[in-house]
């Protein structure tokens, strides 16, 4: 049986990171690394909540590809839709601690990222609400 309270806690924390993303949508005061970090965190917590709801154990990791692979192994509905979010792995650690790590990258499309993260969160929140 899934630990619904733990899943709920993860979704609450994911929502806080998501709200931070929304607050950084149009601000030039927040570097892409900071925006990307909060995107990665919202994605990670949402994927972990999804795994909890499916009663799937997962390792202590920030690796989005590992979390998605676990969901794929469990044949979770529509998880392949979120494969592109794996690109946010770099924001978990590297981009936050290495100055200039992403200097050659083009700017993040913040509205598109907010929409993609929101879609993932809504899917997991709907799964949680179904009980």
CB 46 within 8 A of CB 64: no
* Full pLDDT tens readout for the chain, 131 residues: 578 999 999 999 999 999 999 999 987 888 888 899 999 999 999 999 999 999 999 999 999 999 999 999 999 989 999 999 999 998 887 655 666 556 667 889 999 999 999 999 999 999 999 97
Q: Nearest-CA neighbor of 61 among 98, 53, 69?
A: 69
What is the fold, at CATH topology level, of the domain defined by 4-130?
A: 1.20.120
Distance CA 60, CA 80 (A): 22
**Domain-wise residue ranges, the chain:** 4-130
Distance CA 63, CA 131 (A): 27
CB 58 within 8 A of CB 75: no
Q: Tell me the pTM.
A: 0.91
User: Which pLDDT score is estimated for 111?
Assistant: 96
Token pair 């993260």: residue = 117
């Amino acid at each position: 049986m899934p630990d619904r309270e733990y899943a709920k806690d993860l979704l609450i924390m994911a929502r806080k990171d998501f709200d931070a993303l929304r607050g950084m949508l149009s601000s030039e005061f927040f570097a892409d690394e900071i925006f990307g970090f909060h995107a990665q965190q919202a994605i990670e917590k949402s994927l972990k909540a999804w795994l909890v709801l499916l009663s799937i154990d997962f390792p202590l990791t920030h690796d989005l590809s590992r979390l998605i692979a676990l969901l794929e192994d469990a044949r979770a509905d529509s998880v392949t839709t979120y494969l592109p979010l794996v690109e946010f792995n770099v924001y978990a650690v590297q981009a936050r601690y290495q100055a200039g790590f992403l200097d050659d990258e083009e700017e993040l499309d913040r509205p598109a990222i907010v929409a993609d993260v929101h879609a993932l969160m809504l899917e997991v929140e709907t799964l949680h609400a179904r009980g």
